[in-house]
Amino acid sequence: MPMSDRVLVTGGAGFIGSNVADRLLHAGHSVVVFDNFDPYYDPAQKRRNVGRALESPSYRLIEGDVRDRASLASAFESAAPDVVVHLAARAGVRASVEDPLSYLEVNELGGLFVLEESRIRGGLPIVYASTSSVYGGGSVPPFREDDPATTPLSPYAASKRSAELMVHAYHHLHRIPVAVARFFTVYGPRGRPDMAMYSFTRDILAGRPIRLHGETTERDFTYVDDIVDGVLGAMDWVKRTRGHDTFNLGRSEPVRVRRLIELLSRELGVEAKVVMGELGASEVVRTAANVEKAHSAFGYRPRVSLEEGVRRWVEWSRTSPAA
């Protein structure tokens, strides 16, 4: 890897994207973020995410929408990236049931436009964000990348799987180097307000009961720094090999959601109230990552235990105006 890359990060004002951008800056790279400050959750939180980075001379923010080909093309033109980290998306499983069209447009069409920009520029390497949600009803945990993943349970999962298939076609036809990274339930500083870690924290602090969707539900909670490590590892891999492959990025230590509530409650020093609800039809009972492939390709090794991660999360949420 050269001393310094120019990296275009789509969705770089969001939770994972802003953590990726900060780490890239810290490692001496220059970063251009492309983000439309989508109102899926409060855009003010995203403004705060980018606040510090904007002070760096190696950082630039371009506001634009991946569905708008012209604005995406001009961002690629002016960023002239060596590599792209494509994170811009509509995320959130349950919300996709209500608004499938946005998921199709942003995740599939927007994703196609990113591939097109890479093709036009001779095959810019891409790290392409996908999700553990592609392992749907028919997949048996711990999930491996060679699972056919043909049974998505939500429009979100279907849109991401479909985007992965388009990536395959583009690599096959145009030799575009792409590392597809399937993230598993990411949490940590700047976390998304619609995700469990965030909403449980708010409920516990407000003395509101937490609705637990299924007593046996398990998630492979993964601390955001471990995801950022994986994204940077995948970036090196895709530049080095100019290949195409798919990698799970997760902690590989699924825990019951019930256990997460206990840890959060202990760390916050407030007792949690829980009411039982049903697991929604769009959600799987258990997620668990097999990460051997990412380990052998680029040495991926998640480091942050759930106990440590919850401690760091609570510390951050105490100082964050949004939490």
Which residue number, 52 or 273, has a Cβ lying nearer to ligand NAD?
52
Which residue number, 5 or 38, has a Cβ lying nearer to ligand NAD?
38
> Which amino acid is residue 125, in one-letter code?
P
Where does this chain touch ligand NAD (CB under 6 A) — which range of 21-29, 161-169, 178-186, 287-295?
A: 178-186
Residue 129 lies near ligand NAD (rule: CB under 6 A): yes
Q: How far is the CB of 215 from ligand NAD (least distance, A)?
A: 22
Residue 196 lies near ligand NAD (rule: CB under 6 A): no
Map the footprint of ligand NAD across residues 69-88, applying CB under 6 A.
87-88
Map the footprint of ligand NAD across residues 97-116, applying CB under 6 A.
106, 110
Strand partners of residue 131: 183
> Which amino acid is residue 45, in one-letter code?
Q
Single out the residue of 62, 186, 260, 297 in contact with ligand NAD (rule: CB under 6 A). 186
| DSSP state letters, 276-308 | EEPPPTTS-SB--B--HHHHHHH-------HHH
Which residue number, 11 or 125, has a Cβ lying nearer to ligand NAD?
11
- Catalytic site residue from 156, 170, 187, 223: 156
Find the helix or strand (DSSP H, E) in which 169 lies.
helix 155-174
Single out the residue of 7, 25, 32, 66 in contact with ligand NAD (rule: CB under 6 A). 66
Where does this chain touch ligand NAD (CB under 6 A) — which range of 65-73, 137-145, 269-277, 303-311?
A: 65-73
Show the tokens assigned to 195. Answer: 């995700």
The DSSP letter of residue 143 is: B
The DSSP letter of residue 134 is: G
Q: How far is CA 12 from CA 88, 117, 129, 195, in A?
A: 7, 18, 12, 18
**CA dist., res. 268 & res. 50, Å (int):** 27
Angle between helices 224-241 and 15-26 (to 10 degrees): 70
**CA dist., res. 126 & res. 311, Å (int):** 33
Map the footprint of ligand NAD across residues 10-49, applying CB under 6 A.
11, 13-17, 35-38, 40, 46
**CA dist., res. 256 & res. 322, Å (int):** 26
Residue 189 lies near ligand NAD (rule: CB under 6 A): no
Q: How far is the CB of 160 from ligand NAD (least distance, A)?
A: 6
Contact 154, 96 (CB under 8 A): yes
| Active-site residue flag, 170 | no
Contact 290, 144 (CB under 8 A): yes
Q: How many of the other CB atoms lie within 10 Å of CB of 249?
A: 27
Which residue number, 89 or 272, has a Cβ lying nearer to ligand NAD?
89
Q: How far is the CB of 11 from ligand NAD (least distance, A)?
A: 3
> Which amino acid is residue 87, in one-letter code?
L
Residue 178 lies near ligand NAD (rule: CB under 6 A): no
Name the site residues for ligand NAD (rule: CB under 6 A): 11, 13-17, 35-38, 40, 46, 65-67, 87-91, 106, 110, 129, 131, 183, 185-186, 192
